[in-house]
A and B are shown apart, each in its own frame.
Chain A
C-alpha cells in the first residue's frame, strides 16, 4: 500500500550546510500491516510519520500510496488524498479545547463530503464504539488523559481512513491507559486497518506485527 524509496529530509544548518534527519529511507508497508517504529529520541521517527501523513512536504525521494506517486502531487491533491485515506493520532492529543467531545469528533467529517445525517450517524457510532457517549458534551479538559486520547483515536478513524498513523499515542498515559489504546489498535488492525505507530515501549511494539528501527535518520 505504501512504498517509500530513497526518502530524505533535511534542515538547513546555516552556511549552506544541511542537517539530515532522514537518510535514504526505503520502506514498504502492505495493506493490513501493523508497524511499530522505534528508536532513540531524535532519531527521526516523528519526521517519518509526518511524511507518511503528508503533513510535511519538504522532503526528497519517492512516496507511492496505493500506486499514486504522491511526490508528484500538488499540495491540494495531496491534502485531499490525505483527507480520504489517512487518520492521525498525536502524542499530545491535540483536541480542540473550545469544542466538546462530540464537536471534536465531528470536525474531520465537517471537512469532508458528508451529509448532515451521515455525520450524526458516524459520530454516534464512534461514541458508542469507544463507549464515551456519556462524555459527549464535556470539554477536553474535563477528561482524563486516557479518555482524551480515546477521543483522539476516535477522531482519527471517524472518517474511515485506510491508514492510521500514531505518534507515541500512549506517551503521555499511564501504562494501564496505554494498554487500552493498544488493545484498541489491535482490534482496529484485525478489522483491516493498516497502522503505523511510533513507540518507545517494547510492550506496545509487541501489539504490532513488525518493528522498524530508526537510528540517526537511517533504518537499521
Chain B
C-alpha cells in the first residue's frame, strides 16, 4: 500500500497542472461544505452550553385574540407557575437589564440580566470563582450583590484574584461581587430579548438578583420577565404543557378581571434548544443543500477529468494488465490517486473554511444567535475527513472501473494511437456534464431567487429615511433620575445641545427604534365604543417620541400635526397614530380629533386626543408589513432608556464623539451606548438573510466548475480539431461542431435542471420575499447565464486550437 501511495504521488507529480486544478476545485467545495457544516453544527446540533440542556424549557405566554405570541410573564404569574407546577424540577425568572458602570472618567454601558436565585443552578453550570445568589438575596433591599463574567473580570480587573467582595458602582449604586461565571457562559441568549429592553445588546457580563417589589407582585399586566425551567427527569414536553394549561385555567378563574374569559390567553412551554435554532433552520438547511450540490458538481468535474486521464493512460494500463495486474489492482491504483487528491483538497478546504467561518460570522453580525460559538471542532473535522475520502472514492470509482478493464487488443495494437476514446466512455462523460449543468442550474436558480428577494427587500420603503442618521442609546440610573421630571430635564437638555452642533438637521428621541429588535405595545380603549366585556380590548404597538423624532428619521406627516415642545407633562394628553392604525379603527372617518385611553376603560378616563397621522413604518422587519402604531410624546410618558436619532446634512459618523462629549457635559457618569448609523441598524436586521447570499459564492464555484469541465472537453478535442483542419475544415465548420455539441449538452442539462428546480424551489419559499418560487425571469436569466458560460467555455479553447497551425494541433497529444 505504501508503495501504491508513493507511485500515486509520482504519477500525480507528472501532471502538476491537473493536480492544481483538481485540488483547487476540491478545496473550494470542501471548504464551503466545512464552513457550512460548522455553522450547522454550532447552531443546530451542538447542545446549548448548559448542563443536560434537553430538559431545559422556556415558558412564555400568548394572547391569541390580540395576535400576541411569546410574550413575557408578570411577577405574580411567575409566582403562580413556580409554586404550583409539579413537572418542573426548578423554575426561574429573568429579564434583561443594562448597567452604567462608572469607571474612571469614561463611564461604560454593560449588558446584563436580572435572574432569580434558581436560574443559575437549574442551568447546570458552575462559577469559576465564588457562588451563586442565595434566595434571600432575591428580596428588595438585600439584592446589592452581583455576579460578573470572566470577560469583565479580565477586562476591568485584570483577573485580580481578590475580586470577590469588591464593590462595583452601577447606576450610582454600590454592588458587591460574589461570583464569576466562565467566559463561555452565555445567558440569557439574545433571542430571548422579548420585552422592551434596548436594542440587540451584547452578551450579558453582569447578573443581578431579581427581587420583585410588592407592587410588582401585584401587577398581573406587568409582563416583563421570561421563565426558564428544568423539567423533572422523564417528564415530557406535552405533559408539562398540559400542566401549565391547567394552571392558566386556575389563574383565569382566580383573577377574572385580568384575563379574557375566552381561552385566548395561555402559556407555552418551548424546548430551549428548539427556540434557539428555529429561526435559522431554513437558511441553514438550504445552505447545507447548496454545498451538497457543490460537492456533487466538484465530483462530476473530477470524474470527467480523471476519465480523460484514464483514456490517456489506457495504454499504460493495458501494459500493466499484460504484465499480470488484476482489475482490482488497477482500480486500487486509480482510487489511491483520487483519494490522495481529495485529501489534499480537504486539507486546503479546511484552511479555506477557517477563513470562511470568520466571513460567515462577520456577515451574520450579532443578530444570529450563538454565531460567536461557531468554530471548527473535532466533530466537523471528522465529518470533513469522511467527506473528503468519500468524495475521492466517488469521483475515482467510475474512471477507476473504466481503467480497470482496458480493451487490451486495441490499446496494445501496434501503432494504435494511445488515446482511443470509446463511444460508451464518451456517452458517460456527456451524461456527467449534463448532470453537472442540471445541478448548477438548480443552484443558480436558488441563488437567483434569493438575490432577487434580497434586492427587493433593499428596495422596500421602510417608511423612513435611514441615510445620514446616527442613533445612540442612553439609560438613566434610577438613583440620580428618580422621577419623570428629572428624565425629561435631561432629555430636553441633551436634544438641545446636540441640535446646536454644526451640520445637524434634526435631533429626535424615541424609546424604541424601528428594526432594532425591540418592541412594546399597549392595550387601549376608544371613546364612544363600548367594549364587549368578553372580547379583549384592542392592543397595538406603542412608542414614546420627541417632537422632532419624525423629522429626524424622515417619516412623513399625513394629516394633523407633529408634537411640539408645548405637548409637555402639563398640557392636554395627545397622541399620533400611523396610517395603518387610523385605517384599522376609523376606516371611513378621520382619526384626527378622536380620543382614546391607555389600558382599559375606567370610570375616570384620562383621554388622549389624536392630533396627527404619520406614514407607516416597517418596524419588526423589512419583510413584515407595517402594523398599526401609536406614538405618545416622550415628555408626557418618559422612560429611563432612550434612543437618540440624529440627522446630519452629511455622513453623521464624525459627529459621534461630539455628541458623546455633549452628553457627558450634562452628566459625566452617563455612557452613550450602541452608537450606530441607522443604516447599520437596518443592515443588521437583515443579517440572517445575508447569510443566504453566501449562496452566491457557492454558485460561483459551480459556474467555474461548469466552465472548467466544458473547456476541458474541448481541449480534449484539440487533436481532432487539428485533423479536421488538416482535412480542410474551415473555422466555421469547427465552431459548428464544438458549439453544437456544447449546446446539445447544455440544452439537455438545463431542461433536466429546470424540472428539478421547479420541484425543489418550494423549499426556498420561506426565504423568498415578493418573489415567486417559479419566477420565470429568474429562470430565464439563469439559463441564459449558464448557456453563456458553457458557450464561452467551448468557444475559447476551440478558438485557441484553431489559431495554431494544424501542424501544432496534430502533434498535440491528448
Measured CB to CB, the residues of A under 8 A from B are: 50, 53, 55-58, 79, 82-83, 88, 90, 92-94, 96-98, 107-108, 110-112, 139-142, 144-145, 148, 155, 159, 172-173
Report how far A188 CA is from B806 CA in the complex, Å: 26
- Residue from B407, B719, B810 having most chain A Cβ neighbours under 10 A: B810
Checking B413, B416, B720, B727 against A108 with a beta-carbon cut-off of 8 angstroms, the contacting residue is B727
Checking B410, B417, B733 against A92 with a beta-carbon cut-off of 8 angstroms, the contacting residue is B417
Contact B733 A172 (CB under 8 A): no
Checking B416, B727, B728, B810 against A141 with a beta-carbon cut-off of 8 angstroms, the contacting residue is B416
Checking A94, A139, A140, A172 against B726 with a beta-carbon cut-off of 8 angstroms, the contacting residue is A94
> Are A56 and B805 also in contact (CB < 8 A) when A96-B723, A141-B420, A145-B416 are?
yes
In the complex, which residues of chain A have a beta carbon less than 8 angstroms from the beta carbon of B416?
A: 141, 145
> Are A55 and B733 also in contact (CB < 8 A) when A83-B728, A107-B727, A172-B415 are?
no
> Are A141 and B726 also in contact (CB < 8 A) when A92-B415, A94-B810, A98-B423 are?
no
B524-564: CB near A (< 8 Å → 1, else 0) gives 00000000000000000000000000000000000000000
In the complex, which residues of chain A have a beta carbon less than 8 angstroms from the beta carbon of B807?
A: 50, 55-56
In the complex, which residues of chain A have a beta carbon less than 8 angstroms from the beta carbon of B727?
A: 88, 107-108, 111, 155
Report how far A98 CA is from B311 CA in the complex, Å: 14
Taking A55-B807, A56-B805 as given, write out 20 further A-B residue pairs in contact, using a Cβ cutoff of 8 Å, ordered by the A residue number.
Answer: A55-B810, A56-B807, A57-B805, A90-B810, A92-B417, A94-B810, A96-B720, A97-B420, A108-B727, A108-B728, A111-B724, A111-B730, A111-B733, A140-B420, A141-B410, A141-B416, A145-B415, A145-B416, A148-B415, A173-B415
Nearest-neighbour CB distance to chain B for A169, whole angstroms, equals 12
In the complex, which residues of chain A have a beta carbon less than 8 angstroms from the beta carbon of B728?
A: 79, 82-83, 108, 111-112, 159
Report how far A82 CA is from B726 CA in the complex, Å: 9
Checking A55, A97, A141, A144 against B806 with a beta-carbon cut-off of 8 angstroms, the contacting residue is A55
> Are A79 and B730 also in contact (CB < 8 A) when A58-B805, A90-B810 are?
yes
Nearest-neighbour CB distance to chain A for B500, whole angstroms, equals 75
Q: What are 26 contact pairs spanning A and B, CB under 8 A? A: A55-B726, A55-B810, A56-B805, A79-B730, A92-B417, A93-B415, A94-B723, A94-B810, A96-B724, A97-B419, A98-B421, A98-B426, A108-B728, A110-B733, A111-B724, A111-B733, A139-B423, A140-B420, A141-B420, A142-B410, A145-B413, A145-B414, A145-B415, A148-B415, A155-B727, A172-B414
In the complex, which residues of chain B have a beta carbon less than 8 angstroms from the beta carbon of A93?
A: 415, 417
- Residue from B413, B426, B728, B733 having most chain A Cβ neighbours under 10 A: B728
CB under 8 Å from chain A, chain B span 402-453: 407, 410, 413-417, 419-421, 423, 426
Q: Is B729 an interface residue (CB 8 A)?
A: yes
Contact B415 A111 (CB under 8 A): no
Report how far A159 CA is from B728 CA in the complex, Å: 10
In the complex, which residues of chain B have a beta carbon less than 8 angstroms from the beta carbon of A88?
A: 726-727
Checking B414, B720, B805 against A55 with a beta-carbon cut-off of 8 angstroms, the contacting residue is B805
In the complex, which residues of chain A have a beta carbon less than 8 angstroms from the beta carbon of B720?
A: 96
Checking B414, B421, B730, B810 against A97 with a beta-carbon cut-off of 8 angstroms, the contacting residue is B421
Report how far A53 CA is from B247 CA in the complex, Å: 99
Report how far A218 CA is from B805 CA in the complex, Å: 23
Nearest-neighbour CB distance to chain B for A125, whole angstroms, equals 18
| Interface SS of chain A | loop
Nearest-neighbour CB distance to chain A for B798, whole angstroms, equals 16
Closest residue of chain B to A99, judged by CB? Answer: B720
Nearest-neighbour CB distance to chain B for A133, whole angstroms, equals 22
Report how far A92 CA is from B812 CA in the complex, Å: 12
Nearest-neighbour CB distance to chain A for B712, whole angstroms, equals 17
Closest residue of chain A to B414, judged by CB? Answer: A145
Nearest-neighbour CB distance to chain A for B502, whole angstroms, equals 68
- Residue from B729, B730, B807, B810 having most chain A Cβ neighbours under 10 A: B807
Nearest-neighbour CB distance to chain A for B684, whole angstroms, equals 58
Closest residue of chain A to B417, judged by CB? Answer: A92
In the complex, which residues of chain B have a beta carbon less than 8 angstroms from the beta carbon of A139?
A: 423
Nearest-neighbour CB distance to chain A for B628, whole angstroms, equals 71
Report how far A44 CA is from B723 CA in the complex, Å: 21
Nearest-neighbour CB distance to chain B for A41, whole angstroms, equals 15
Closest residue of chain B to A174, judged by CB? Answer: B414
Nearest-neighbour CB distance to chain A for B811, whole angstroms, equals 9
Nearest-neighbour CB distance to chain B for A22, whole angstroms, equals 13
Closest residue of chain A to B805, judged by CB? Answer: A56
CB under 8 Å from chain A, chain B span 763-814: 805-807, 810
Nearest-neighbour CB distance to chain B for A84, whole angstroms, equals 9
- Residue from A88, A97, A112 having most chain B Cβ neighbours under 10 A: A97
Closest 6 CB pairs of A and B: A172-B415, A111-B728, A83-B728, A55-B807, A55-B806, A145-B415
Report how far A144 CA is from B726 CA in the complex, Å: 23
Nearest-neighbour CB distance to chain A for B520, whole angstroms, equals 74
Contact A107 B724 (CB under 8 A): yes
Nearest-neighbour CB distance to chain A for B734, whole angstroms, equals 10
Report how far A144 CA is from B724 CA in the complex, Å: 22
Report how far A96 CA is from B737 CA in the complex, Å: 14
Closest residue of chain B to A50, judged by CB? Answer: B807
Closest residue of chain A to B409, judged by CB? Answer: A141
Nearest-neighbour CB distance to chain B for A89, whole angstroms, equals 11
Report how far A142 CA is from B422 CA in the complex, Å: 11
Report how far A159 CA is from B426 CA in the complex, Å: 30
Nearest-neighbour CB distance to chain B for A180, whole angstroms, equals 15
Report how far A94 CA is from B727 CA in the complex, Å: 10
Report how far A107 CA is from B417 CA in the complex, Å: 20
Report how far A129 CA is from B250 CA in the complex, Å: 107
Closest residue of chain B to A49, judged by CB? Answer: B807
Nearest-neighbour CB distance to chain A for B546, whole angstroms, equals 78
Nearest-neighbour CB distance to chain B for A195, whole angstroms, equals 17
